[in-house]
Amino acid sequence: MASDRPRRRRIGRPRIGTGMDARGLLLDAAVALFSAQGIAGTTLAEIAAKAGVTSAMVHYYFSNRDRLLDAIANERVLRAVTSVWAPVLETTELEPMLRGLVRRIVTAAEANPWLASLWLREIVSEGGQLRTRLLKNLPFEHVRHLIRTLAAAQECGAISTALEPRLLVPSVLGLTMLPLATMPMWQQIPILQGVTYADIARHAEALLVAACIPGGRKPAKTRLDR
């Protein structure tokens, strides 16, 4: 005969519903809130509420705020950054390297709407709480490869020696991440409305190629233009 006593749930992974990943939902909620209002302005309770779970589950999966930030840096931001930069090593030709890099940055920002704003708020800005966490794990071999490629082109006289190879990376990021992060602001200005992700990619490509590639050729049409 079945007992009328309620079953005691086993201690272990909390349940939030079939097929739902509470940890992933919490990370998604955290990056969305952090990009919109900053890490300092976001509470764990707000993250839990946005993810549709209890505050206790934040502590269950991450123990404390620092471990949550470590997970955000490594599993969300670093993963996106690596996917953008890893293909740089596949070529030693500067033009396809620059074009590919710009397109991947814009594609990643379009797929992850939190990325550009979070980058500006918590990595670029002084005091950003993800800066140290990310810098210690960034794939700098990809950055070095880009710098060396530009320097090599200068050595053989292919491009102007007025360009500083070490500033190429900040230039790429400035032409992509900054306009991407500030889109909501300048889209409120009538004359700037209607600029798309594809426009940002095409504009950044054109400027970089014109500066770095003699006779900068017209960029090929990409998925972003469709």
What's the CATH number where 100 sits?
Answer: 1.10.357.10
Residue 62 lies in a domain: no
**What is the band of 139 on the pLDDT scale with cuts at 50, 70, 90?**
confident
Instruction: Report the C-alpha gap between 74 and 77 in whole angstroms.
Output: 6
Residue 119 lies in a domain: yes
Mean pLDDT of 118-143: 93
- Reply yes or no on whether the pLDDT at 53 is more than 80: yes
Mean pLDDT of 11-17: 46
Q: Which helix (H) or strand (E) holds 84?
A: helix 78-85
> 90-99: buried (b, 16+ CB within 10 Å) or exposed (e) per residue?
eeeebbebbb
Structure confidence at residue 5 (pLDDT): 53
Q: In which domain, by residue range, is 74 found?
A: 68-214
CA angle 168, 201, 151 (to 5 degrees): 20
- Reply yes or no on whether the pLDDT at 187 is more than 70: yes
Q: Which of 93, 94, 77, 81 is nearest to 39 (CA)?
A: 77
Mean pLDDT of 70-95: 95
Instruction: Report the C-alpha gap between 159 and 51 in whole angstroms.
Output: 50
Residue 18 lies in a domain: no
- Reply yes or no on whether the pLDDT at 8 is more than 60: no
Mean pLDDT of 157-175: 93
- Detail the DSSP E strand segments found in 45-97: none
Q: What percent of the chain has pLDDT over 70?
A: 86
Spacing of C-alpha 196 from chain mean position: 18
Residue 8 lies in a domain: no
**What is the band of 215 on the pLDDT scale with cuts at 50, 70, 90?**
low
Residue 120 lies in a domain: yes
Structure confidence at residue 4 (pLDDT): 52
Residue 43 lies in a domain: no
Residue 121 lies in a domain: yes
Largest CA distance in the chain: 89
Number of compact structural domains in the chain: 1
Contact 200, 106 (CB under 8 A): yes
Q: Could you count the other beta carbons within 10 Å of the beta carbon of residue 26?
A: 25
**What is the band of 216 on the pLDDT scale with cuts at 50, 70, 90?**
very low
Structure-token match 């060396």, residue found: 148
Instruction: Report the C-alpha gap between 137 and 73 in whole angstroms.
Output: 9
Q: What is the mean pLDDT of the chain?
A: 88
Q: How buried is 5 (Cβ within 10 angstroms: 0-12 exposed, 13-18 middle, 19+ buried)? A: exposed
Pick the residue with more confidence: 223 or 203?
203
Residue 194 lies in a domain: yes
